[in-house]
Amino acid sequence: MLLNLVLFLILLLSQCSLPSKSKKSKDPQIQIHFVSDDYEETKFIPSSLFESKDLLLILAELSRKEDPSMRFISTNRTEEIMEVNGKSNSWSEGWVVYVNEERVDGVQMKRGVRVSPNDKIEIRYEAVERVFGRPRP
């Protein structure tokens, strides 16, 4: 009788803990997809469905955690990703940020770009045109 009670309690407790585990995996997340010729990775940032976050702060936090390893250049007017996992900008190629397929330049990021789990965020290493060292839109 005692054995049946113990087994029943174990079964009951195991069933109670399952929904909480599956609930955690269904929480909305902001996804950032990094793409280059030799590197592709998606990062997931926890968020609520109704919460938007500043893209620049998200990237700064990823940089601080070195996940992936990123280097920024910051001036009074602009922000630019200079390097991701050892792949640096050059005069003809660089890291370009896209939110919902629209290019986001450093000035826009500095002013603030809000993103949520519904947004498609990609950071691609691609051909860029530079004038005096700064990428042109």
Instruction: Calculate the average pLDDT of the chain.
Output: 81
Show the low-confidence residues of the chain (pLDDT under 70).
1-26, 131-137
pLDDT at 14 (0 to 100) = 55
User: Which residue ranges make up each domain of the chain?
Assistant: 27-135
According to CATH, the topology of domain 27-135 is Ferric Hydroxamate Uptake Protein; Chain A, domain 1 (2.170.130)
Predicted pLDDT of residue 19? 42
Omega before 137 cis (within 30°)? no
Sheet of 79-84, strands arranged across: 70-74, 79-84, 87-88
Would you state the pLDDT for residue 7? 52
